[in-house]
Structure 1
């Protein structure tokens, strides 16, 4: 019975890795377009978002079956329960990346000093998503804490973008569409970072039994 449970956990880990990889891919495809001054392929990105949403449903189903059939206790119960919560945040990452692609596809965002800061945000968030999944798979408490700490970089970059955009609004050469779209995109990136932090906190719960979730979007 234990061997069967271990096999189910391994499958769960593999599926979470795959879902996390899809989230990395959708972030990359969405923001690579900005970096290369191209419009994103929203159809491809929409397909990735749908795949991520389907994986959420599949993993949820697997977790519920494990809970009902194996009735795990203690740490095993926390592991499965955490996975059940984590897939929601992964799904939101996919959804928000797609929403960003739709904004970028309007073609209003142009090369600027704010865009350089945004790229730094994107790099940090992609790393946070990767680390949060790795932390779960390897039960790495230190890596999960690293994800949470790294969120400060994302928040600082978001604050910097807001300051730069305020300066833009004060100037006579303001491109309003660029400023508004960039602000919306940077807010979505900040939210993606928040979801990575939530995943890291669920990892810590699975390992330590201590829960610290803000309960935001």
Structure 2
């Protein structure tokens, strides 16, 4: 268990966020009949569009921290500071307007973590190319299920290295970006009925879009 570090003093970023996220705030639909947000260059084709998505990606850059990410042009983006996990984080939320699921990306000072015994099944895990220069263990995109007393918890997020399958102790490692800790995770509003249902979701349009977003992260 790591001792919590004192959070930074967060400088007001209202002006910076307004410039960066104009047209990208909560309820906005970037690229849907309006001007592209100032934080985005012209949309690019991913070359591997999931069914139901155009494959066009908008790059989002944190206005005050060294991190960028690409997300589908059909989605919404929102950015806030001073709340969430890690403590005092800059928090970007990416959401599919056709779904109740979303992805949050946080940069800030991490709080304590708690370890619990689990039985883990890893569906897939692979390194994030844009974060390859970060301290070891290398940041990975990972999708897996942890079972505690038979109850499943499905997780898709960035992990410090590849998660170990089998019976182990669940403890999230630290991913460092600059002076901050990075926490990036998909949130599922409804639990999957089974491992097969989770795999089917991953193979579908939304699952592939979530995966592409997490794999697109880059520092600098």
- Higher relative contact order (CA closer than 8 Å, sequence separation 6+): 1
TM-score between the two structures when normalised by the length of structure 2: 0.24
Report the TM-score when normalising by structure 1. Answer: 0.25
Larger fraction in strand? 2
- Greater C-alpha Rg: 1
